[in-house]
Structures are given as C-alpha cells and as structure tokens.
Structure 1
C-alpha cells in the first residue's frame, strides 16, 4: 500500500482496557502512530465507551476488579450492537484457562504479557483486516438481498397487475392498496417483518380472478345469482394457486387471497369467518382494497372522494370491517392521500 493510499484511509479506532495505567501506557506507545485510541481503566467504563462510540477492535485485560475482562466480553457478545467487534485478550503468563474461556466467549485472539510490540502490531493488523473483510462481505450480502427483495416485489406486483387488468381494473390498484395495507399494519402495531410480508403479499389478493371466465369477470351489468356464485369462487382459487408454494410469503398471500372478502360480522365469503377468526392480514387488506376501489374510477362508477370513502369505511365499522383497524385507518388520511398521489393511474 502506498503512503498516499494509507493516508486516504481513515484510521481504525482501538479501545484499550486495563486497570493498570502502566500497561495502558505501553500499548499506547506501540499503537498510537497507526490508530485512534480510546482507553478505559475498568470494565464498566469500557462498556460505556463501546455503547457511545463503538471501536473497531478492543484490547482487553482479563484480571480487573469488579467487572473482569471475561464478563466484559460476555456482555459485548450478548449485545447485537457490539457482538461483531473483535476482542483480543491481553493476559498474564499462566492464565491459560482464562484464555480458553475468553476464546469460547467469542474473543478472536490473545496476547501474553509482557507484550511484544511486533506481536501486538501484527495481531491487531490481522484481526482488523479480517473484521473489515467481514464487514465488506456483509455489506455486499445486504445489498444483494435488497436487490433480490426488490426484484421479488416487482414480480409479485406484475402478477397482481395481470389479474387486475383482466378484471378491467388498473394495474396500479394492487400497488396502492398494498401500500395502504402496509401502513395500516404498521399503525396497528404489527412487527416490521409481518408488515413487510403484508406489503409483498397483498398485491396477489385477487390472483384467483384469472380462473373466472371473462364473460362473468368483464360483464358490465349486474351479475345474476349463478354468475355471482362463480365470481365468489375467486378467493378459493387464489388460495389454491398460492398455497401450494411453501414460503412464508406465499402462505400469507394465500391467506389474504382466501380471506379478504370475509366480513367482521360473519356475512362474508367464501367461508363466512367472523371477527378475530379472520386472519389479521385478511382484515387489513379488506379495508385497503375497498378504500382504493371506492376512490378509483371504474367503468361502472366514478371515483368517490376521500372524505366520502372514509365515511363509508367508518359506517362499516363492526360490520364489514374490524373496528380497531378502522380506527387506525382513519388516522392515516394524510398518508393515504400521499400514497394515492404517488401512484396515480396513468403516471407510474
């Protein structure tokens, strides 16, 4: 590495922990030219420093009063925020058992006292290189994972849009309603992984419509009783299409497809589930789906205003819709308007 390259790279930060000031001074003398240094004379101070300003590597004495080095290491490795920081124990001769315990706790190496400058520099440089490589690989994995998740979402949205086009609805309906559902799930206090699954699964809620004959699906007039019986089969068809795939995402998509036309009062279809027996993702998508359908232009109707639509949803509180979810949904009006504006028909 050239001098210019070395100067261009930010210095790594090391935390030196030892209850003996003379030992700290020795390590500072060895390392200060190459690294930024933090020091702590006890375990409690070390833990506070790591919490406020996490270092890139820790040189940790074992034999300290109150909180010894082993306990410091144990606490660091138990905290997800500091678990990955490499710890090198600095041990006195004869502490072989402690060294083994430290390595078992997650330390990456140990250096014996009295320390040798060349050994300290080499061990620190090696562990920092490994740590930096691990962080780089983790960053690449996270980037690739994000790309795959985005691709998956686009594919799912395309499938959902295909079903909507067959039904004379705009393809952006599935994108808008999935974002409405995602935001409602967050407002209802669901975990972020659960909310993310809903965002990704909701676009497939009407995939079963691809199994409904066109002369029924695209009929402009009111369906007769026989045709309506056929139309009501699309939730079951969608669940069968999606439920044969075993991932968590597809299982949730299958539940949403099956239950988004169920009603809180038990008068929905295809099963007639009532109240909490309806999976919460089905209850959430039911509201999001109706909200977007009413506020959108259809060949058979003009778009309703936001105010009129929210009033209709409020009127169905406890009948068609989960009362608690309706209450959360009504607080989201500004965000609902923003989502509609972002995904206007004919824009995206």
Structure 2
C-alpha cells in the first residue's frame, strides 16, 4: 500500500519510515514540507496518511480538513501525531476527520498496531468498494438485459398491430427515428430520446381493436366508420396504460395523444397546445409526414417536398410550431432516414 508521512522533524520521519519497513512491503513517501505533502496526497490518494499536528504554514488540523474536502480522500485513514497532553487538539482533529492518533515521542509498541489496524481498515474498505463496483456492474448488465427484452416485446406488439394494418414495418421504423430526431433537437435528455425511439412504434397499437372492414377499406371512410377508426387512440391507451415500464408509460401517452392537434381540433379529447404531452406533439409530426410519403391502398405516396409543404402549412394549427421547425431544420437527416428504411 501507499503510505504518506508528513512531519517537519527529520528524526521522526526517519523513525516512522524505518518502522513501516518492518510492517511489510509498502511504498512509503515522506514529506517535511506540509504543503508539498498535501499536494502529493491530493493528486495520488495514498492508502494511509500520517500527519503531524504542529507544522509551519499548514498545521495538521487544516491538513486533515483539506484532505476530507477531496472526494478521493474522504474515506482514507489518517493518523494524527500529537503530544500526549494535547487533548483539545485531539478533539478538534476528530471533528476535522482524523481516524486515529499517534503519541509523541514515537513508540514502536503503539505505532505498529495503530498503523497495522489502519492498513487493515483500508484493505477492508477497498475490498468493499471493489465488491460494490462489481455488484453495480452486474446490476447494470441485468438492467440492460431487461430493457432489451422489454423493447423486443414492445416491437413485437407493434408488429402485431402492423399485420392488421396496411402500413408497413418500415413505417414504424421511419416515424420512430423521425421522432427521435425531433426529441434530440428539442434538447431532451438522452434517456428520453432513447425511450421515445422504442415507444413511438406503439402509436397505432390500438388498431388491433379496429374492425377489418374499416381498417382495410380502400376507399374513403364514412363519418360513422371514421368515428370507429378514431377509437384506436383510446384502445391503444387502454392496452398500454398503468404499466411499470417507463417505455410503455410513454407509449400509452403517445397512443392517446398523437392525433391531437395544436389548435384543439384533433381527437380523442380535443386537447390544445401544451395540454398535449410533448411526446404526442412530436409523434404527430413524424407520423403524418411518413404517412404522407408512404403508399397506401387508398392513395399514392407524396414526394418529400409536397409533404414538407404540408407540415409548413399545418404549423401552428395541426402541429406544434417548434416540432415542425426542428424537424425541417434536420432535413438532411430526415431524407437519409427515408432512404435507409425503405418499404
């Protein structure tokens, strides 16, 4: 282990260094200048610090305080060297964070067991810290595996809806990536954008409850049929709500809100502006753009510029203006996603 001794009396330095050599194969560095010793300790975080109380320019109490103010030294054992009668100093040293004391003059019978105990304490703390790190890594890996299985389940459920819908699997990939771009441009945290990428494909899962004669109808829907079709937003919310999964919680919000319009004319609840959760406003832009640029049984695909013009025209009424602006500001990335995930 690394041991630092800070002591301005040369004879005491020699005595302590000699005694430590007898305790085992430890690296021992000695400093007669407390400021140099403190600088080295702050940079190297030794396993044990032995520091004298009475030193010029920087006494032992201030030395201990500065060590304890450094994260790497908050838990390292520190032995304070004091005179036997300096009880008030010892009390102050305990308050400052000293671990134990050595009494002058240095006595081998006191020095050896105290140093040995401090080194054993440090070894135990290091082993505990290592075990905690190993457990943290194991928990993180297990959590990642759970998230991967969860997202696989989410994607399979989205594909189940897709099998009943004339939309394609590429549609859910494109609109999910479009959504992630908008979320990123909004300055959302990485975790939010990552969840959005996984949750957005669930936007139309409620179509599992839409009758085939309506869902697959090649022509225009009647007002009655349109009312039934619109129920898929509520059905999707009912399927996904009350989950303990953050991804499914976000997916439920998306399913319920992605057909709401910024001016309040959307469905199913007629929400407007900030009443619509941000995920609903994001996905509304991504979903409509991709639906317009995709071929359907009831319409040909629009070209990208025509769809872009539609978003611009809907800015502030159908769509959140910020979401439209950030989507269009990332136009090169949008085109790249459109070309990569072909039907």
Q: 1:17 deviation in Å? A: 8.7
What is the alpha-carbon distance in structure 1 between the residues aligned to residue 158 and residue 336 of structure 2?
Answer: 22
Aligned equivalent of 2:68: 73
Whether the 8 Å contact between 2:231 and 2:268 is mirrored in structure 1 is: yes
1:16 to partner: Cα distance = 5.1
CA distance in 2, matches of 1:38, 1:340: 66
Query: What pairs up with 1:35-184 in 2 under 5 angstroms?
Result: 41=35, 45=39, 49=43, 59=49, 68-70=63-65, 72-74=67-69, 76=71, 86-92=75-81, 95=90, 98-99=93-94, 102=97, 110=99, 112-113=101-102, 116=112, 118-184=116-182
Moved more, 244-253 or 226-235: 244-253
In structure 1, distance between residues paired with 2:298 and 2:13 = 80
Provide structure 1 residue ranges, at least 5 long, that are not aligned to the other structure.
1-11, 77-81, 104-109
In the alignment, which of 279, 291, 294 is matched to residue 289 of structure 2?
Answer: 291
| Superposition deviation, residue 238 in structure 1 | 1.2
Name the CA distance, whole Å, in 2 between partners of 1:302 and 1:35.
77
Task: Decide whether aligned partners of structure 1 residues 135 and 313 sit closer, same or farther in structure 2, where only a CA change above 3 A counts.
Answer: same
SS of 2:77's partner is: strand
Q: Does 1:328 align with 2:326?
A: yes
Query: Which residues of 2 match residues 190-205 of structure 1 at below 5 A?
Result: 190-205=188-203
Q: Which runs of 5+ in 2 are unaligned?
A: none
Q: Match of 1:315?
A: 313
1:216 CA drift (Å) = 0.5
Distance 1:321 1:126 in 2: 60
8 Å Cα contact 1:91-1:99 kept in structure 2: no
TM-score, normalization by structure 1? 0.74
Aligned match of 1:210? 208
For 2:302, the equivalent position in structure 1 comes to: 304
Change (3 A) 1:219 1:135: same
Instruction: Return the offset for 1:19.
Output: 7.9
SS where residue 166 of structure 1 aligns? Answer: coil
CA-based RMSD of the aligned residues comes to 3.9
Please say which of residues 55-64 and 197-206 is displaced more in the overlay.
Answer: 55-64
Kept in 2: contact 1:172–1:343 (CA 8 A): yes
**Paired residues for 1:266-277 under 5 Å:** 266-277=264-275
Match of 2:262 among 255, 261, 264: 264
Residue 226 (structure 1) shift: 0.8
SS in structure 1 opposite 2:163? helix
Contact 1:21 1:41 in 2 (8 A): no
